[in-house]
Chain A
Amino acid sequence: MRERVRQGLVGSLALVPSVFVYGTVFGGLAVQAGLHPVEVWGMSVLVFAGASQFVAVPMLAAGAPALAIILTTYVVNMRHYLMAATLAPSFRGFKRGWLMLIAHLINDESFAVAAARSQPPDAGVYLGSAAAIAGSFVGGVAVGTLLGGLVDDPRRYGLDFAFPAVFLSLVAVQLRRRSDWLVAGGAAMLAVALALALPGNWHIVVAGLVASAAGALVLPVETDA
């Protein structure tokens, strides 16, 4: 077990710098958007899901209702169900208390490391990777919140655009099949139309759920994933 934890840790070292910088960018932008550093640290430890935290910060800054932010967070993080279901059988025999803690550490990078190494993924490798990823993300956020206060006019440096840029980059790397483009493009158009018609931020959740559900109902089921 100890050896496999070490393998997971070492196997994740290549990801540590980019996860650290991702955390730094998040911490810096969140402080510039008006969050207190302690709020940013609290969010990073308690939520520990980078993409959804990027989503929440501009909504919080714009004074969106808590329910809209929480629901959007839930939808953005629904992909965890997939990873949790794949990882679960590897953790038989662990005490329930540990499982409740380990569940909180489910993240895209550690899942990718553990799933690439063996099928089913190994519990030890996964834990080693999760330790490396969680440590570098939270460490990066802490550094970022300290640096974030240094820029006094984020808009001048285009930093307000970092939020949509992060979202678009995450979409671009996930477009694998031609039909993925239809879902992403359909969601974008629906969201623009809804945003013009509805107040608040409900277009995100509604367009996201409608476009993905329509795609899942109509498109052929893939065999590769």
Chain B
Amino acid sequence: MRLHVWLTIIGMAVATYLTRAPMFLALASRPLRPRVRLWLRLVPLAVLPALAVPLVLLPDGRLATSLAHPPLWGAVVVFVLAARGVNLLVAVGCAVAVVALLRALG
């Protein structure tokens, strides 16, 4: 239980509430402009790979160039399974298992 963790959580809560409440409390029936809607739909599509791909490819802040890099194969597995409509938790579970297996072998 640390103060900076709680301050971060409260900041996250305020930031998230600011994405929910303003449009909701306005009760406006005027829809968002199409280009704004498109942008809001694309934001998670851009943020999530921006987050995930460096975690996979830059394990220690340097580019992993070897194919003997278990997270690389885990990423391929989860991406292909999820794109094919496999339940997300199952896809994540398979990827985790592949990474664990490759680490045990390597």
Contacts and interface: CB of A to CB of B under 8 A. Distances in A.
Interface of A: 18, 21-22, 25, 35-36, 38-39, 42-43, 46-49, 51-53, 55-56, 58, 60, 66-67, 69-82, 84-89, 91-92, 96, 99-100, 102-104, 106, 155-159, 161-175, 180, 183-192, 195-196, 203-205, 207-213, 215-217, 219, 221-222, 225
Interface of B: 1-2, 4-29, 31-32, 34-58, 61-63, 70-71, 74-75, 78-83, 87-89, 91-92, 95-101, 103-104
A104 B17 contact: yes
Given A52-B16, A69-B8, A104-B20, A157 B100 contact: yes
Contacts of A103: 17, 20-21, 24-25
A84 B11 CA distance: 20
Contacts, number: 312
Contact of B32 (A82, A96, A164, A169): A82
A169 B5 contact: no
A169 B91 contact: yes
Contact of A219 (B24, B38, B46): B38
Dominant secondary structure of chain A at its interface with chain B: helix
Given A46-B10, A158-B97, A164 B75 contact: yes
Contact of A84 (B22, B29, B36, B75): B22
A55 B91 CA distance: 18
Contact of A171 (B8, B48, B89): B48
Given A55-B51, A91-B24, A157-B100, 16 more contacts: A21-B89, A43-B13, A51-B44, A70-B11, A72-B47, A76-B48, A81-B40, A158-B101, A169-B91, A171-B44, A175-B83, A180-B42, A186-B46, A191-B53, A211-B42, A212-B43
Contacts of A74: 15-16, 18-19
A88 B32 CA distance: 12
B45 A174 contact: yes
Contacts of B96: 157-159, 161-162, 165
A72 to B, nearest CB: 8
Given A73-B16, A104-B17, A191-B54, A208 B10 contact: no
8 nearest interchain CB pairs? A208-B47, A158-B100, A216-B39, A158-B99, A191-B50, A172-B82, A187-B46, A167-B52
Contacts of B99: 158, 161
A161 B29 CA distance: 43
A207 B50 contact: yes
A152 to B, nearest CB: 14
Nearest to B86: A169
Contact of B23 (A21, A76, A81, A184): A81
A71 B63 contact: no
A211 B96 CA distance: 28
Given A183-B42, A203-B54, A43 B12 contact: yes
B41 to A, nearest CB: 6
Given A69-B12, A77-B15, A87 B75 contact: no
A78 B56 CA distance: 24
Contacts of A104: 17, 20-21
